[in-house]
Structure formats: C-alpha cells, structure tokens
Amino acid sequence: MQTSAETDNRAGRNGLPDRAERPWADGWLRERFHTRDRRRKPNYRLPALEVKLGYRPLTAAQQRELRAQWLAARVILHDFAERRCCSREVVINVYVSLDELISILCAAVAFTDDEHLWRLALPHATVEGGQWARPTTLEALALKPGQRFYYQYDLGDNWQFRGRLHQIPARVGPALWAHARLTDTPAAQYAARGKAPDQYPHAERW
C-alpha cells in the first residue's frame, strides 16, 4: 500500500495538481451536480454526454489527449442483500481526488447525500473516508483501464458499487471532447441501465 508521502510526491505539491489541471477546484464539487425537480426537491445528476450528436470524429492526437486525461468506468450498484439495482457508464477526469470520486459515484445513481462513511478497495490499496483520500488523485494512483474497484458506501445501508475502468470508447470521444471544452465538470455519464433506487428506502415517509 502506498504511503501518504509517496502519493503526495507523485501527485505534486500538497498531493494535488495545480489549478490549471483542476479547473473545478474553486467550488465544492457536489454542487455542480445539484438540480431541483418540479417539486423543488434536490437531486444530484451527472451531466449526460450527447453521444448521438453528429460531432466531427477525433484525430489520433485528440484521442490520445483524452485518454491521458480521462478514464471510463462501468459501475454496477448492489444493495445490502447483493441484489443488482442499476448500472452506469461514466467518464471521470484523472485529476479528481478520491473523496471527489465518491461524490461522482453518488451523483451517478442520484444519491443526494454523499457524506456517509465509505470504503474503497482499489487494485493496490483499500482506502476509508478520512484517511489519505483528500490529497490523492486517480492519476497519482496510476489507475489503468482493465482494473476493477469496489466501493462500499454508507456502512449502515451498505450500498455496494462494483466498477471496472476502461479506455474512452471511440463513440464517446467526440462528445467528451466537446464536454471538456465547454464545462469544467470533471465527470459525465454516457449510458445507463435500470432505475436508481431510493438512497434511503427504509426511511419513514411523511
């Protein structure tokens, strides 16, 4: 397992890249996913990539640039009884920190509360919220396509996210290229299957 000092050295001063590589860093990340429905109820959603629009195909150089800065992931959500609930396919900037990754995965399934305890099992380390998550980025951990991760969220309700990293699919590249130049949001969704469950299915309803 990497130590905090080793991770900080790889990621740069204070463990994070500079502001130019993290344009979203001035604001709290979760607020970028905040919306309200017609009843003014708060929701959290990742922006959707418009993969079906007729964007111009990327050059080989553009594809390399995207794949150096972004990872794709397919994430399947299971409940406490190991029942599969839904799946999401997302793109994530490699300069997000691990606690930002937690907010992104919660937003992918419309969870409005991302402040519970969590445990994240990565290929070479297991991280719990509050350890060295904040100054550690995906880039610093050298995560690569093909690797898997397991994320356990809210140790009471025990939501389980099982994910696998991928290269940016060719069909997604043009939409991601446009997204990356029009917004500083470091994650987006390009496919979804199944309806996301209520975050608190056993809560009393008033």
Please report which confidence band the pLDDT of residue 7 belongs to, taking 50, 70 and 90 as the band edges.
very low
Asked, for residue 11, whether it belongs to a domain, the answer is no
Asked, for residue 199, whether it belongs to a domain, the answer is no
Q: What is the pLDDT of residues 154-165, one digit of tens each?
A: 888 899 999 999
Q: How many domains does the chain have?
A: 1
> What is the H or E stretch that residue 111 is in?
none
Q: Which domain holds residue 61?
A: 23-193
Asked, for residue 135, whether it belongs to a domain, the answer is yes
- Range scoring the smallest mean pLDDT among 41-55, 142-156, 177-191: 41-55
Asked, for residue 18, whether it belongs to a domain, the answer is no
Q: What is the pLDDT of residues 64-108, one digit of tens each?
A: 999 999 999 999 999 999 999 999 999 999 999 888 898 899 999
Asked, for residue 203, whether it belongs to a domain, the answer is no
Burial of 16-46, coded b for 16+ CB within 10 Å and e otherwise, reads bbeeeebebbeeebbebbeeeeeeeeeebeb
Asked, for residue 178, whether it belongs to a domain, the answer is yes
pLDDT at 133: 59
Asked, for residue 50, whether it belongs to a domain, the answer is yes
Residues 6+ apart with CB under 8 A from 178: 50, 55
- Range scoring the smallest mean pLDDT among 9-13, 169-173, 177-181: 9-13
- CB contact at 8 A, 53 and 196: no
Dihedral angle, C-alpha 11, 12, 17, 20, nearest 10 °: -150
Q: How far apart are CA 107 and CA 77, in angstroms?
A: 12
**pTM reported for the whole predicted model:** 0.82
Asked, for residue 102, whether it belongs to a domain, the answer is yes
